């Protein structure tokens, strides 16, 4: 007899990569763009979709960044106003000729670059765009400091240093900050008197802004990464719980395999011996047919046992797509005149809903063979908007006078059941939010299951 056990459910377990990522022991990916949240750790392979919890964490992080950038917009206008006012009050003042024209051009470049660089939408652009705006702002600030030594020295260039520290990755930020700070210090040293003290002052001021900007950027990234890792950790714990439940189901499936393999194997051997004994003793045709049918039932029980064990191990469950095979097998095994009608456009159903309908049809057909042998039967599956209905109906048993007599007298298997078929069917339907009912109908019996799928 073939083994009832199915293959291991490897896809259900938690990968070591996921556990390391959830524990924070695996390096997170680089941000997709400056200022973006840190990427989540890879779950089971590249391109794996985020869970709902991780996606929600990403959404909160992105919303927090957008809110912080919106709050920075007043700073842009305040900075532009401060640069324009200080340039107007500085010496030489902006104009349209000579050095004054250069001051006007540098002032315009700084104002436009600051307005663009502090715009929330521009902050979502790629690294090259960010670096270009920072370069324009820094270059304009250095030119303004060189052309107007008696103004607000270094104000525009220092803002470029701050934006670079917040927005750019570490090495590009260090290069931009170093270049702007060195150029600004050189411009101040060449135009200032005395030269050393102003140059040292602007250098220290730029370094202070650089450290502050990096702290602000890293603090935001750490907050986003912590939130993402917490979401991943909750996902990992859920996956661990699911894996533990699957392992327990596998253990139960193994126990069922051992019990059913022993019992059904023994039953099959006994039935084979009984069939040979009936042939040797020239038993009646009815007895030989009953023994043959019992052997078929043993095979069917073995098949159902395999499905039950497979369900415990996470295998694909029977569904309404297998109703034709079920009806054909019932017709072939019992000789019952049973028909199958499918109304509406077939569509995929959830696994539990499809299983409830399949098991309901299976139980109803078994009851027909048990209580109304020889009666005609009809199985109808209706796909309706928002729900699916299964109806199994049989006429009166030819040897009885109606449904009451059918249930009371029935065939030779009428007393074989425990009377729990309909309650079990109803419980299975209710688990998926559906209903099940059964009762006399038109001289026979009607069973109807309805599931919201």
Give me the residue label for tokens 């907050």: 223
21 with 42: CB under 8 angstroms?
yes
What mean pLDDT do residues 407-417 have?
Answer: 43
Q: Which residues contact 416 (CB under 8 A, 6 or more apart)?
A: 370
241 or 406, which is more confident: 241
Instruction: Specify which of 77-91, 183-197, 228-242, 267-281 reaches the highest per-range mean pLDDT.
Output: 228-242
299 with 264: CB under 8 angstroms?
no
Element (H, E) at 50: none
What mean pLDDT do residues 119-142 have?
Answer: 83
pLDDT at 337 over 60: yes
pLDDT tens figures, 195-211:
677 888 888 988 898 88
Instruction: Give the model's pLDDT for residue 248.
Output: 79
Of 59-63, 230-234, 273-277, 315-319, the poorest mean pLDDT is in 315-319
What is the Cα–Cα distance from 337 to 378, expressed in whole angstroms? 8
How confident is the prediction for the chain on average, in pLDDT?
A: 75
What mean pLDDT do residues 12-24 have?
Answer: 40
Instruction: Report percent pLDDT > 90 for the chain.
Output: 8
Of 59-63, 227-231, 338-342, the poorest mean pLDDT is in 59-63
Give me the residue label for tokens 């070591």: 16
pTM of the model: 0.42
Q: In what order do the strands lie in the sheet with 444-451?
A: 338-343, 377-384, 387-394, 444-451, 435-441
The SS3 assignment for 445 reads: strand
Give 185's pLDDT tier (boundaries 50, 70, 90): confident
pLDDT at 339 over 50: yes
pLDDT at 14 over 60: no
Instruction: Give the model's pLDDT for residue 306.
Output: 65
**Which tokens hold the place of 153?**
């020295």
Give 420's pLDDT tier (boundaries 50, 70, 90): low
Instruction: Give the model's pLDDT for residue 380.
Output: 94
Instruction: Report percent pLDDT > 70 for the chain.
Output: 76
383 or 6, which is more confident: 383
Residues in the chain: 453
Give 416's pLDDT tier (boundaries 50, 70, 90): very low
pLDDT tens figures, 343-369:
999 998 888 888 889 989 988 998 888
Instruction: Give the model's pLDDT for residue 447.
Output: 93
Residue 52: closest CA among 231, 226, 204, 306: 231
What mean pLDDT do residues 84-105 have?
Answer: 78
Instruction: Specify which of 48-57, 243-252, 278-287, 333-342 reaches the highest per-range mean pLDDT.
Output: 333-342
Domain range list for the chain? 318-453
At what angle are helices 155-167 and 73-89 packed, to 10 degrees?
160
Instruction: Give the model's pLDDT for residue 314.
Output: 62
Give 246's pLDDT tier (boundaries 50, 70, 90): confident
25 or 367, which is more confident: 367
Give 311's pLDDT tier (boundaries 50, 70, 90): low
Give 417's pLDDT tier (boundaries 50, 70, 90): very low
Instruction: Give the model's pLDDT for residue 259.
Output: 72
Count other C-beta atoms under 10 Å from residue 406's C-beta.
27
What mean pLDDT do residues 387-410 have?
Answer: 67
Instruction: Give the model's pLDDT for residue 330.
Output: 87
The SS3 assignment for 148 reads: coil
CATH of 318-453 given 3.40.1390.10, 3.40.50.150, 3.40.50.720, 3.30.565.10: 3.30.565.10
169 with 30: CB under 8 angstroms?
yes
pLDDT tens figures, 247-269:
777 777 767 766 776 677 677 77
184 or 311, which is more confident: 184
What mean pLDDT do residues 273-301 have?
Answer: 78
């Amino acid at each position: 007899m073939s083994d009832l056990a199915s293959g291991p459910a490897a896809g259900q377990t938690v990968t070591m990569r996921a556990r390391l990522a959830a524990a924070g022991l695996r390096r997170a990916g680089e941000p997709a763009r400056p200022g973006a949240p840190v990427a989540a750790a890879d779950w089971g392979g590249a391109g794996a979709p985020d869970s709902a919890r991780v996606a929600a964490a990403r959404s909160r992080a992105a919303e927090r960044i957008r809110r912080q950038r919106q709050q920075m917009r007043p700073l842009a206008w305040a900075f532009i106003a401060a640069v324009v006012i200080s340039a107007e009050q500085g010496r030489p003042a902006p104009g349209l000729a000579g050095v004054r024209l250069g001051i006007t051009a540098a002032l315009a470049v700084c104002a436009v670059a600051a307005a663009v660089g502090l715009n929330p939408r521009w902050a979502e652009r790629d690294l090259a765009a960010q670096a270009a705006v920072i370069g324009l702002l820094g270059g304009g600030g250095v030119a303004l400091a060189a052309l107007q030594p008696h103004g607000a020295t270094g104000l525009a260039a220092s803002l470029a240093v701050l934006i670079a520290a917040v927005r750019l990755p570490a090495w590009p930020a260090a290069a931009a900050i170093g270049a702007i700070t060195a150029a600004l210090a050189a411009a101040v040293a060449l135009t200032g008197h005395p030269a050393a003290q102003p140059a040292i002052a602007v250098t220290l001021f730029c370094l202070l802004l650089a450290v502050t900007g990096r702290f602000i950027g890293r603090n935001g990234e750490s907050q986003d990464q912590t939130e993402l890792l917490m979401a991943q950790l909750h996902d990992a714990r859920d996956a661990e719980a699911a894996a533990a439940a699957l392992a327990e189901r596998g253990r139960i499936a193994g126990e069922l395999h051992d019990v059913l393999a022993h019992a059904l194997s023994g039953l099959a051997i006994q039935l084979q011996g009984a069939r040979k004994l009936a042939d040797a003793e020239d038993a009646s045709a009815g007895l030989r047919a009953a023994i043959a049918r019992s052997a078929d039932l043993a095979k069917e029980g073995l098949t159902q046992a395999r499905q039950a064990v497979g369900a415990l191990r996470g295998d694909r469950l029977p569904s309404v797509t297998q109703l034709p095979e079920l009806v054909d097998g019932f017709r072939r095994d019992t000789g019952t005149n049973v028909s199958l009608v499918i109304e509406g456009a077939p569509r995929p159903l959830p696994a539990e809903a499809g299983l409830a309908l399949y098991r309901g049809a299976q139980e109803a057909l078994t009851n027909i063979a048990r209580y109304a042998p020889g009666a005609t039967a009809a199985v109808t599956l209706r796909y309706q908007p928002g729900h699916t209905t299964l109806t199994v109906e049989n006429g009166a048993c030819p040897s009885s006078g109606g449904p009451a007599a059918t249930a009371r007298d029935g065939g030779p298997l009428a007393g074989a059941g425990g009377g729990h078929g309909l309650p079990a069917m109803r419980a299975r339907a209710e688990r998926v939010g559906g209903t099940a009912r059964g009762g006399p109908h038109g001289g026979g019996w009607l069973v109807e299951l309805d599931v919201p799928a």
